[in-house]
Structure 1
């Protein structure tokens, strides 16, 4: 199949496919007589694997490690896969905690708004200006952060 068909079948942009080839994640395809790339079912399956790993927010280095582990039953390599997933899970949990803190800050900032926007100052903007001046604000408690 041609690169456009591979792109359509996997939902991966043509330029991204070419990037994966250049980076060694995806082996180069055979070339047809007219010079077009001719991708196989194996390319499609490998690209779908890469796409799934990327959807799990895994780095390209981690994807390469996982691809290298596909054909092995080596206990050490498989233990590395477990460590990789544990590390990714820890990163996701840290981001979730950060997002929860951000949500709490935005809720505190939103609480400064009385939703009646006529004839008085906006509490949200006042808080943001105060924070910009290094003053305490509702969203960061007793201290302003950058």
Structure 2
């Protein structure tokens, strides 16, 4: 498939797709006789996996290590387990921080709702 099709199917821009290719995150890309890139069907899933891992906080370097291990079927289990353990710690920290932010936002929401209710009472009393 051409890059426009891959872009359309994944929602990832062509500049990013070319960057992924340059960073060796998208293997198996052939060149046609007209020098256009020809992406395999598997590139769709590969791009989706890259985006998911990025959204979980994995760096492109870490993603490359994971993808290389998957593609070669030679995963260093100890290294993989350590990487995942570190990411889980990061995620737990983010969850704690998000819970704190949620509590602050909930308190502010209550304060604003109470203020709005008082203002509505004051307005209705003026017109009575």
TM bin (shorter chain):
0.7 to 0.9
Q: CA deviation at 1:90?
A: 1.1
The unaligned stretches of length 5 or more in structure 1 are 121-146
Aligned-pair distance for 1:87?
1.3
Paired with 2:110 and 2:41, the residues of 1 have a C-alpha distance of 55
Matched, 1:105 2:111: no
> What is the match of residue 4 of structure 2?
4
Describe the shift of the 1:49–1:100 C-alpha distance in structure 2 as closer, same or farther (beyond 3 A).
closer
Residue 99 (structure 1) shift = 0.8
Equivalent position of 1:14 in the other structure: 14
Contiguous gaps of at least 5 residues in structure 2: 124-128
The secondary structure found in structure 2 opposite 1:112 is helix
Q: Distance in 2 between matches of 1:98 and 1:73?
A: 36
Q: CA deviation at 1:18?
A: 0.9
Normalization by structure 1: what TM-score?
Answer: 0.66
**What aligned pairs does 1:25-64 form with structure 2 within 5 A after superposition?**
25-27=25-27, 29-64=29-64
Partner Cα distance (1:10, 1:23) in 2: 18
> What's the RMSD between the two structures over aligned residues?
2.5
Structure with greater proportional helix content: 2
| Corresponding residue SS for 2:111 | coil
The structural deviation recorded for 1:43 is 3.5
Residues 110-145 of structure 1, C-alpha deviation per residue, up to 9 Å, x if partnerless?
33332233569xxxxxxxxxxxxxxxxxxxxxxxxx
Change (3 A) 1:110 1:43: closer
